[in-house]
Amino acid sequence: MTQLTPVLSAHWDEADSFTIEGYKRHGGYKAVEKALAMQPDDVIAMVKESGLRGRGGAGFPTGMKWSFIPQGDNKEHYLVVNADESEPGTCKDMPLLMANPHVLIEGMIIASYAIRANYAFVYIRGEVTHVVRRVQQAIEDAYKAGLLGKNVLGKGFDLELVLHIGAGAYICGEETALLDSLEGFRGQPRLRPPFPAIAGLYARPTVVNNVESIASVPAIIANGIEWFQSMGTEKSKGFTLYSLSGHVTNPGQFEAPLGITLRELLELAGGVRAGHQIKFWTPGGSSTPMFTADHLDIPLDYEGVAAAGSMLGTKALQIFDETTCVVRAALRWTEFYKHESCGKCTPCREGTWWLVQMLHDLEDGKGTEEDLAKLLDLCDNIAGRSFCALADGAVAPIISSLKYFRDEYLAHQRNGGCPFDPIASTKFVTAGI
Amino acid sequence: MAFTTEQLAVMDSIVARYPRKRSAIMPLLHFVQSVYGYVTKDGIETISEKIEVEAAEVTAVSTFYTQYKSEPVGEYHVGVCINTLCAVMGGDAIYDSVSNHLGIGNHETTKDGKVSLERIECNAACDYAPVVMVNWEFFDNQTPQSVRDLVDGARNGNPPAPTRGPKTLRTWKQNSEVLAGLSDGLANEGVSAGEPSKLGLKIAKEGGAK
Amino acid sequence: MTTDQLTEVEMITVVIDGFEVSVPKGTLVIRAAEKLGIQIPRFCDHPLLSPAGACRQCLVDIEINGRAFPKPQASCTIPVEPGMIVKTQLTSPVADKAQKGIMELLLINHPLDCPVCDKGGECPLQNQAMSNGRETSRYEGKKRTYDKPVAISSQVLLDRERCVLCARCTRFSEEIAGDPFITLNERGALQQVGIYEDKPFESYFSGNTVQICPVGALTGTSYRFRARPFDLVSVDSACEHCASGCAMRTDIRRGKTLRRLAGDDASVNAEWNCDKGRWAFKYLTSRERVATPMVRGADGELHEASWPEALAAAVAGLKGKRVGVLVGGRATREDAYGYSKFARVALDTNDIDFRARPHSDEETSFLSSVALGLETTYSDLDKADQVVLVDFEPEEESPIVFLRLYKQVRKRALKVSTTAPRISRGSHKLNAARAPLSSVAGLTDKSVILMGERAAETGGTISAVVELAAQSGAKLAWIPRRAGERGALIAGALPTLLPGGRPVADASARVDVASAWGVTSLPDSAGRSTSEILASLNTPEGLEAVVIGGVDPVDISADALSSLLNTFVLSLEISHSAVTAIADVVLPVAAVSEKQGTFVDWQGHARGFEKAIDEAQTRSDVRILSMLADELGTPINLPTVSATAREIESLGSWDGATAQFEKVSAGSTPRAEGTNAILHSWRLLLDLGTLQEGEANLAGTARTARAHISAARASALGVKNEDLLRISSEHGSLTLPATIIDIADDSVWVPRNSLNSQVIPSLGFSSGVVTVVKA
């Protein structure tokens, strides 16, 4: 049985875990002292060697990303933290920032020092007022403590840190759209190349990292590479936050070594809710192709999930039991992608618009066998044809649900509509309305 | 109505946060909402002057992001998550219930101007599903009854406190000020984390699975 | 060979659909394919705009050194690389299906209104849907609809449901014109082009968006529903509106100009033009054309006459008289040459001038000397390290010069300064600093000074510019506002110059020209300038008659028209005007689309054009002057425009010594205190100019006239923005709303010839001291 490894979440049960005092009580801001005594390149090397990979979904090695920043180029460098967490099912960064914003700030100071950035931004989604308050307060307190601003900790390093608050656009989680948004434009993805490491924010070398990735850095600096590598699997090192939601007895956050399985996590969460069986689940948010009960023992690391035909993504494990209609689920996700399509490219803008109509017809029992072929062909004309990965994510639930539950789509036609009782899937079904 | 000298000075301070003026457009739009409740012409034109871009460019940005409203919303803006997981867990039932209860639909406001309704997408609190956001504060584990009670309270000037948030629910305009990056001093109120957030930690402390 | 041509361009060889092609490094795959004649379908791609990769229509399969991209790539965003193998829709089933899939998606929300759409028949969507689309659509839902059309300005209409959101229009407006007044709004399936509610798309370059729109989403109000593309005959033409030198295309149907478009000339206007060039062509038909020759009878009225009668009347009025010749800025080089030769040969005078505007002896000297040797070109602007604008507003007075400058400002932050008293919108976009000539520093031989015609209005300015250019080695250009001026200069329509820059004062130059013209001698006495010609009329021993072509007297001075009252006036005109109203004989002439000819742009480059309207019966000025010279018994032998062009070519330019420029020291700067103010003005691109008549949609986008004053003056007068100001001289006054702006406290600026602001007729002068009070 894999043991849980609370690191980022280690003190969330303390009433003041989000304050600077609460953070410092457990060794907070010690790692930054250590890092600032090192050469910046050594910090990069250490993070690189640790094997830390991006926790925002793509899994790109964090240290390598830092090393792409050209040094000695006489240009401003920027660090931008992606706290736009909006992928359906994903709910790890917001509780992290609410309960422990200082670990992010400490990580940002270290990362900025390493890449020689004197300006850093947190781009946080705008629909989380209280998380915004916590991060804003933490930044203010860090300034007061001499951890930000001119001459950080008296080490001659300057860092301005600005909290930038979004306003409702999932696409801004895509790093180039995020940069455009931060520059004051519509959040639409940019052409690459140039990559952000060469021309990012204000066309300057920029590192964009996920909250959890940066928040993991202080522990690596403090405890060392070996400690970090003692957790996880061969190519997926360290600990991470797994978020269980949906039809489980006890949903919540589980910080565990990479490679834990859903079977193990479900056991920790008290299993699928009483009297029900798992039907399908997402490994890392709605854009990662869904799995079924046949996939409970897949190691939840980057390689394991990919080998099974999906993606680790944000480790957002959404569990649905047999009361859930998969057509309804796919339709809702498709509606989400239609709502969030930025409009820039044809396949995503027009494709999601069309997909929603087709799925509505299917849900209403108006779809035929031929319509399923058309639906799949349409997915084929959208996936891999669009400007960014949003549309790939949009078709993932459709294609994967058709793969496992094709007959359920057709059952809607036979039944003249959805054969499921929507109330049966609700959390309060037993409690009454 | 126009911005006061003090408000214009706040806008200047927001612009000053950034290396380049244009970056301030989003917090400025949030700030305009904190003054007017929505994005007004005066707001767009003032931002256009502050950051030296065309009003058309400000409009292009403000219409891209769903939190910027082109019409007034209620003092309490209620967002019911209807993304797949919350919908399945009860979000659909909650939305239908509260919509019927208030007699308003998506993007509509009660006649008294107190409550508006929006079908919202995933708000990063899936382990608390079904989730309702009021003025973008978390109301976790909701039921149709709890949300009906919530909006009734809001209309009577006595809304319940957020599950994870300040001790009292602030208004739309007040919270828009927070989203403009201005402190309201309430960061220390409320829990560090809700129970689901602490579940893994609790189990680990208890020595593994129960 | 220049060093540029010598610079090695790295060539890259790629294989597209099995064919090798070598293209310069950096070339996009879609362009490389074009070189092979392989047409990859596209919508958002435009060679002059930054790549967008938005429509995804141009997807192709690519592998590089054996490594294939896992999915099709947008060929409009990927530059060629060594070892690249590209398979387009012609050889890759995957690319073909991808393209057909995109086309189907583009069409699901596109209306089937091609039969009534302006674009039908020349529509990239229509054409490529046929060439690269599926036979049928599988879409069964409802199409997206919007209210339509939306007038985003008085001259551009938007039909949003036709839009494919390629962002060509918005990219053009931002990247090329610097006018981001139209933007993409909303998002996702509701994304749409729009303006800010109170601010229409009043860019001087808005028409280009209509031209590059790949569907019928943007249409010109004046052309909408007027014609089918396949009924039009297209003729290459040159623009008559300014000295930028745009290549144009004129589309004619049954003898009538239906529309004009920007032509393609990479060295001048690229593929752009301004809205005046595009839409101001209704003057041809707006006012009553002079249809036949006319002679003023004993009753004081003009009466239609036959050509022989009219020519006889003209002869009677001119023969044996001392006659001056005024030729305006609309004249082609050939027509100006006709006036020049007519003056010397038929009228035996050097009293000829093409400057139908304020001018000076200093300018005459400049034009007779330094101006003849100017060789500055657009490409010098592309390479300049600094550009100085002297009494010149590029966006208002030569819009393509503005676009070229703006491109460099965007691309490499080219440093621009201006001597203007205030920063205009154009200067603002150029990020130009305000700097009086005396403070301009740091010029090198890569710097360029662009001097406008208004430099003649302040004594000593031209001299100072010539001095500055000589000392610094900076390149100098003289950019007159009108299309005809540089050609008229070459044609010798100036009191001091014969054709080809030959000095009148030089005996051998006179002999040169006289022998070419087959006459024994040419007049050697110094000629009169425009103002001297007008002043000389009605004076003892002064001029007794005047020949006028294309001159609007109010452009010169307030009393110019009255000087013509008691003298014999022969008018060669397109339409009835203030001059024809008082002329004794009026001869009809052809408008630009009715004749062939040449404009010489500010670079000195000839821009020849052919007759666009075949059916036109009107004659070019030069043909009429030649007939008249015959009747006078002093033939000038210019029976056709092409014969004239040949004669100009064979005469060539003067290789002897030219006159020395005679410097003038700056006069005392006028002083203005209290309610007095120094008046500054220039003409806006869209104003009351004669050639803009008859196009209300274009006029609807003209900037409203406002008086610009400083904050200090505003506070002294107790006025705020939009309060009315009265600007007065001894002659008269103007009343205009105030705009408070960064301008010298002792100055006021008003547009020179706009609605409610006609400076010369109202105030009696174009520059001087006026009083400014709250109205």
Strand partners, A255: A241
Our count of domains for chain B comes to: 2
Query: With 50 as the cut, is the pLDDT of residue C1 above it?
Result: no
pLDDT of C7: 64
Inter-CA distances, C258 with A122, A386, C235, C285, C533, Å: 56, 40, 12, 12, 40
Q: Which domain holds residue A334?
A: 326-423
Q: Are C333 and C638 in contact (CB under 8 A)?
A: no
- C neighbours by CB contacts (3+ pairs under 8 Å): A, B
pLDDT band with cut points at 50, 70 and 90 for residue C669: confident
Nearest chain B Cα to C197, which residue? B56
Residues of chain B contacting C, Cβ within 8 Å: 41, 44, 53-60, 63-64
CATH number where A268 lies: 3.10.20.600
C97, C102, C190 member nearest A346 (Cβ): C102
Residues of C in contact with A338 (CB under 8 A): 188-189
Give a yes or no: residue B137 inside a domain: yes
| pLDDT number for residue C288 | 84
Q: Is B196 a domain residue?
A: no
Strand ranges in chain B using DSSP code E only, listed in sequence order: 76-81, 108-109, 115-120, 132-134, 137-139
Indicate if A140 and A164 belong to the same structural domain: yes
Flag if C196 and B64 touch (Cβ within 8 Å): no
Looking at the fold, whether B58 and B82 belong to one and the same domain comes out as no
User: Are C555 and C760 a contacting pair, CB within 8 Å?
Assistant: yes
A44 and A146 in a single domain? The answer is yes
Cβ pair B61:A184 closer than 8 A: yes
Mean pLDDT calculated for residue range A154-179:
98
Please report how many Cα atoms fall inside a 13 Å half-sphere around the Cα of residue C555, on the Cβ side: 25
* pLDDT tops 70 at residue A301: yes
Question: Which residues from A are below 8 Å from C when comparing CB atoms?
Answer: 169, 186, 191, 338-347, 349-354, 357, 374, 378, 380-382, 384-387
Decide if B149 touches A, using CB distance below 8 A. Answer: no
Q: Is the model's pLDDT at B210 over the cut of 70?
A: no
**Joined tokens for residue A107:** 């990580």
Please check whether residue B180 lies inside any domain of the structure: no
User: For residue A3, what are the β-bridge partners?
Assistant: none
Asked if A165 lies within 8 A of B181 by C-beta distance, the reply is: yes
A203 touches chain B (CB under 8 A): no
Which of B44, B64, B84 is the last residue in one of the domains? B64
**Is the same domain home to B131 and B87?**
yes
d(C-alpha A10, C-alpha B130), whole Å: 26
Q: Decide if A14 is inside a domain.
A: no
Residues B67 and A127: their CA atoms lie apart, in Å, by 8
CB atoms within 10 A of CB C692: 21
What's the mean pLDDT in C596-605? 98
Q: Which residues of chain C are within 8 Å of residue A343 when distances are taken between CB atoms?
A: 165, 184, 186-191
Q: Please tell me the distance in Å from C128's CA to the nearest CA on chain A.
A: 15
Query: Residue A379 maps to which CATH number?
Result: 1.20.1440.230
Provide CB contacts within 8 A for C27, sequence distance 6+. Answer: C12, C79, C80
Residue A431 has pLDDT above 70, yes or no: no
Based on the fold, state whether residues A246 and A211 are members of the same structural domain. Answer: no
E strands present in A288-412: 291-292, 316-321
Domain that holds residue B56: 5-64
| Domain final position from A321, A346, A374 | A321
In a domain, A403, yes or no: yes
Tell me, yes or no, whether A343 and A316 share the same domain.
no
Residue B187 located in a structural domain:
no
Are the Cβ atoms of C184 and B60 closer than 8 angstroms? yes
**Which of C168, C264, C175, C274 is closest to C215 using CA atoms?**
C168
- Rounded Cα gap, residues B143 and A432, in angstroms: 9
Output the CA torsion sign for C394, C400, C403, C407.
negative
Q: Is residue A8 part of a domain?
A: no
Q: In this prediction, what percent of chain A has a pLDDT beyond 90?
A: 98
Q: Is residue A433 part of a domain?
A: no
**Closest C-chain CA to A390:** C188
CATH code of B41's domain: 1.10.10
CATH number at residue B107: 3.40.30.10
- Locus of tokens 């600094």: C386
B178 neighbors B136 (Cβ within 8 angstroms): no
For residue C3, what pLDDT is reported?
47
Residues 267-286 of A with CB under 8 A from B: 267-270, 286
Where does a domain end: B43, B64, B85? B64
Q: Is the peptide bond before B130 cis (omega within 30 degrees of 0)?
A: yes
Q: Are residues B84 and B55 in the same domain?
A: no
Nearest CA in chain C to B53: C180
Determine, yes or no, domain membership for A338. yes
Cβ neighbours of residue A76 closer than 8 Å, sequence gap 6 or more: A117, A118, A119, A202, A204, B19
Continuous segment of H or E residues that includes residue C79: none
List Cβ neighbours of C238 (8 Å cut-off, separation of 6 or more). C245, C246, C247, C248, C483, C598, C599, C607, C608, C609
CA separation for the pair A127, A337 (Å, rounded): 18
Whether residues A314 and A168 fall in one domain: no
Q: How many Cβ atoms from other residues are within 10 Å of residue C10's Cβ? A: 8
Judge if A41 and A134 occupy the same domain.
Answer: yes
Helix axes C361-368, C461-472, angle to 10 degrees: 30
Tens of pLDDT, residues C340-391: 999 999 999 999 999 999 999 999 999 999 999 999 999 999 999 999 999 9
Q: What is the pLDDT of residues B56-106, one digit of tens each?
A: 999 999 999 999 999 999 999 999 999 999 999 999 999 999 999 999 999
Mention every residue, 6+ apart, whose C-beta is less than 8 A from residue C519: C345
Contact C199 B53 (CB under 8 A): no
- DSSP output for A191-252: PSSSPHHHH-GGGS-EEEEEHHHHHTHHHHHHHHHHHHHTSB-SSSBSEEEEEEEESBSS-E
Query: End of a domain among A229, A252, A284?
Result: A229
pLDDT at C198: 82
Q: Is residue A211 part of a domain?
A: yes
C183 touches chain B (CB under 8 A): yes
Question: What does the pLDDT look like over C177-232, one tens digit per residue?
Answer: 999 999 999 999 999 999 998 899 999 999 999 999 999 999 999 999 999 999 99
Interface test mutation site (partner C, options B59, B61, B107, B121, max chain C beta carbons within 10 A):
B59
CB contact under 8 A, A9 and B64: no
Each residue of C38-93: pLDDT tens digit? 999 999 999 999 999 999 999 999 999 999 999 999 999 999 999 999 999 999 99
Of A168, A252, A332, the CB nearest to B197: A252
For the cut 80, the answer to whether the pLDDT of residue A173 exceeds it is yes
d(CA A226, CA A212): 20
- A197 and A291 inside one domain: no
User: Is this complex's ipTM strictly greater than 0.90?
Assistant: yes
Which amino acid is located at A192 in the chain? R
Let me know: does C181 contact C195? Beta carbons within 8 Å. Answer: yes
Written as one letter, the residue type at C211 is Q
pLDDT at residue number B208: 58
Same domain membership, residue A190 and residue A69: yes
Are B200 and A256 an interchain contact pair (Cβ–Cβ within 8 Å)? yes
- Same domain for A416 and A317? no
CA distances from C594 to C235, C461, C612 (A): 12, 39, 6
pLDDT band at A433 (very low <50, low <70, confident <90, very high): very low
What is the per-residue pLDDT for C286? Answer: 76
Are A284 and A344 in the same domain? Answer: no
For chain C, counts of helices (H) and of strands (E): 25, 38
- Whether residues B55 and C186 touch (CB distance < 8 A) is answered with no
- Is residue B135 domain-resident? yes
Residues C122-155 as b/e (b if ≥16 CB within 10 A, e otherwise) read ebbbbebbeebbeeeeebeeeebeeeebeebbbb
Which tens digit of pLDDT belongs to each residue from C427-476? Answer: 999 999 999 999 999 999 999 999 999 999 999 999 999 999 999 999 99
Partner B contacted by A204 (CB < 8 A) = no
pLDDT in tens, A348-396: 999 999 999 999 999 999 999 999 999 999 999 999 999 999 999 999 9
Q: Is B133 on the interface with A (CB under 8 A)?
A: yes
- Taking CA atoms, C541 is separated from C285, C315, C323, C524, C526, in Å, by 41, 20, 12, 18, 15
Other beta carbons within 10 angstroms of residue C231's beta carbon come to 12
- Give the model's pLDDT for residue C6: 53
Place of tokens 């070892």: C83
CA nearest to A202, candidates B23, B15, B13: B23
Residues B18, B51, single domain; the answer is: yes
Share of chain C above pLDDT 90, in %: 95
Contact between chains at C185 and B60 (C-beta distance less than 8 A): yes
Q: Which of residues 49-78 of B touch A (CB under 8 A)?
A: 51, 53, 60-61, 64-68
Tell me what the mean pLDDT of segment A243-257 comes to: 98
**Ramachandran region, residue C469 (left: φ > 0; alpha: ψ -120 to 50; beta: rest):** alpha
For C146-168, what is the mean pLDDT?
A: 97
Shortest Cα distance, chain A CAs vs residue C52, angstroms = 7
C186 secondary structure, DSSP code: S
Cα C378 to Cα A300, C270, C384, C472, C602, distances in angstroms: 62, 11, 10, 20, 9
Nearest to A95 by CA among B131, B78, B17, B76: B131
Q: Is the pLDDT of residue A315 over 60?
A: yes
The chain-wide mean pLDDT, for chain A, equals 97
Residues of chain A contacting C189 with CB distance shorter than 8 Å: 338, 341, 343, 349-350, 352-353
Token pair belonging to A189: 């993805």
pLDDT of C2 > 70? The answer is no
How many Å apart are CA C254 and CA A231, to the nearest integer? 83
Partners of residue C621 on adjacent β-strands: none
B1 has a pLDDT exceeding 90: no
B114 plus B135 within the same structural domain: yes
